Amino acid sequence: MVHSPKTEPDPQASAAGMGRVAVLALGVFAVGTGEFVLAGLLPMLVDAFDVSVARAGQIITVFALTCAVSAPVLTTLTATWRRRTVLVTAIMIYLLGAAGTALAGSYGQIIAAQIVAAAGVGLYIPNASVTAATLVAPRLYGRAIALVVTGFTAAVAFGAPLGTALGGLLDWRATMWFTAALALVGLAGVLAFVPGDVRVTSAGGLRARLQPLSDRRVLALLATTLVAFTAVFIPYTYIGVIYAPATGDSAVALAVLMFTGGVAGAIGNLAAGFFTDRIGGARVVTVALIWLATGLVLVPLATSHFGAALAMIALYVMAAFAITTPQQHRLIAVRPEATPVVLSLNQSVLYLAIAMSGLLGAAGIGLVGARYVSLLAALLALLALGLSHIAHRLAGGSPDPKGTATVDGSLTSTSMAR
């Protein structure tokens, strides 16, 4: 059966629904920590397997590429399954990959295990958001989806720094077992609190999900997302190498840098939502990209001193996280009838950007060194600024929607998602 939330549930039912959504957010936190902690573990993996920084960075590239491909493909293949079955399957796949990574004895084994883990992440995250909206009343759709996304933000701000510090104090394998333990808690929560009969209406086959790519407006916006977040993730993927002089190769100091970035990013995301409602997504993206490019140009001045590194990361990561929400709003504005599909495409492009950051960052480090690789990211931020302007022109300068989308493509008050 298809679970449809009641229009006006009583307060107890609303609380129960949001409680179940919190369980889904916990799962996102678990698998998201496993994804983002890889950047913090990179220096440890270089030492453990005696590989170059560039080669170690390809672990993140492979993970992200797998997520980008598996998200639409596995979601389509499991579209008719009960939601709890999909979510349990996704976490089990992730657990297999996380355990395989912790037990890996070679670089090749880590790559293989991370492909498995990434397939689980690619299946879990988009389905957690869709499932969340089926567990609450329509008036709570925005808040439910925002709560799930909060799990991702928490993974960046808290999970990844904690895992990095744990790896430094114990061992990188301990970090992977830690992420597996988090996933087990998420699995128990899904089994205990997500109803077993929840289904959702399928968005169609893979061809239907890719149909919006024939729209030039959508392509221009997705190209903006791709280039902008490649710029964002180059300094994140190689954060341990770029700021090694400031941290003295201390995993705990690196964790503090990552935590600072996560908190600044959360502030930037909230501010972007506020200003998107008032001046429109295109203007917010313009300001954020100029801010980001400026910060990335200044990074080489702050790589040798820990205090300066803290301030610099807070500066540019706040701008980096301010891009996501307005980009989603712009996509909704041009294709409101295909909201779930265009947002899932945007998520796949984000993963593709992470993959490209690993490749381009490695090339940039080889060309100009770790200290100056942020200059390459700054150039990409400026390119993204040009693409954003083109996207705005193709959209005819149309205003952004005054709300966020529900799972069926309708709009609800934006304030719900804040």
> Is the pTM here over 0.85, yes or no?
no
| Per-residue tokens: 59 | 């672990």
Alpha-carbon distance 162 to 33, whole Å?
9
pLDDT for the residue 265: 86
Task: List, for residues 165-213, the tens digit of each pLDDT value.
Answer: 999 999 999 999 999 999 999 999 999 988 877 766 665 666 777 788 8
What distances in angstroms separate CA 292 from CA 206, 244, 278, 299, one per listed residue? Answer: 35, 22, 21, 11
Task: List, for residues 19-78, the tens digit of each pLDDT value.
Answer: 888 899 899 999 999 988 998 998 999 999 999 988 998 999 999 999 988 888 888 888
pLDDT for the residue 369: 94
For the cut 50, the answer to whether the pLDDT of residue 4 exceeds it is: no
**Residues 45-54: b if buried by 16+ CB within 10 A, e if exposed:** bbebbebebb
Domain that holds residue 123: 16-200
Q: Residue count of the chain, please give it.
A: 418
What one-character DSSP code corresponds to residue 413?
E
User: Can you point out the beta strands (E) in 5-106?
Assistant: none
Using alpha carbons, select from 117, 154, 204, 112 the residue that is nearest to residue 24: 154
For the cut 90, the answer to whether the pLDDT of residue 396 exceeds it is: no
Q: Are residues 284 and 392 in the same domain?
A: yes
Using alpha carbons, select from 340, 289, 392, 327 the residue that is nearest to residue 76: 340
Q: Are residues 105 and 221 in the same domain?
A: no
Tell which of 147, 176, 200 closes a domain: 200
| Per-residue tokens: 142 | 């925005």
Give the H/E segment covering residue 412. strand 411-413
Asked if 352 and 72 count as a contact pair (C-beta separation under 8 A), the reply is no
| Average pLDDT across the chain, whole number | 85
Residue 417 lies in a domain: no
In this prediction, residue 5 has a pLDDT band, given cuts at 50, 70 and 90, of: very low
Give the domain CATH number at 310.
1.20.1250.20
Q: Are residues 190 and 223 in the same domain?
A: no
Task: List, for residues 227-244, the tens digit of each pLDDT value.
Answer: 999 999 999 999 999 999
Number of domains in the chain: 2
Q: Are residues 350 and 389 in the same domain?
A: yes
Task: List, for residues 295-304, the tens digit of each pLDDT value.
Answer: 999 999 999 9
Residue 270, burial from CB neighbour count under 10 angstroms (0-12, 13-18, 19+): middle
In this prediction, residue 3 has a pLDDT band, given cuts at 50, 70 and 90, of: very low
Better-scored residue on pLDDT, 318 or 411? 318
Q: Are residues 188 and 50 in the same domain?
A: yes
For the cut 80, the answer to whether the pLDDT of residue 15 exceeds it is: no
Asked if 301 and 311 count as a contact pair (C-beta separation under 8 A), the reply is no
Task: Name the H helices within 306-338.
Answer: 306-321, 324-334
Alpha-carbon distance 338 to 234, whole Å?
31
Residue 248 lies in a domain: yes
Look at 269-278, 295-304, 363-372 and tell me which has the smallest mean pLDDT: 269-278
Using alpha carbons, select from 316, 250, 322, 233 the residue that is nearest to residue 284: 322
Q: What is the mean pLDDT of residues 72-96?
A: 90
Q: What is the mean pLDDT of residues 111-127?
A: 92
